[in-house]
Amino acid sequence: MFSSKNHDQTILEISHGDFIAIIAESFLIDRQAGELSKHTIKFYRQFLDPYTANCNAHSLTLLQDVTPD
């Protein structure tokens, strides 16, 4: 995973071999570093934690395993 600052926005580039849980946690860390409010971080976590758990329950651990269906 790679991130860089560009015009006050963070761009995350994700490869097909990245683990969903790591991507989610990296996103949250990046948002915290961007000094978003604790309430916003909590909102994101409340969505991402169950999503990550659901992916794990269905043996979807890599980004490439996730499809629109």
The arithmetic mean of pLDDT across residues 2-21, rounded, is 62
Does 11 map to a domain? no
User: How does pLDDT run across 25-57, given as a tens digit for each residue?
Assistant: 999 999 999 889 999 999 999 999 999 999 999
Task: List the domain range (segments joined by +) for residue 48.
Answer: 17-65
Give Dmax over CA atoms of the chain in angstroms: 38
Q: In whole angstroms, what is the distance from residue 60 CA to residue 3 CA?
A: 24
Q: Using CA of residue 32, residue 38, residue 41, residue 46, what is the dihedral sign?
A: positive
What pTM was estimated for this model as a whole? 0.67
Does 44 map to a domain? yes
Does 42 map to a domain? yes
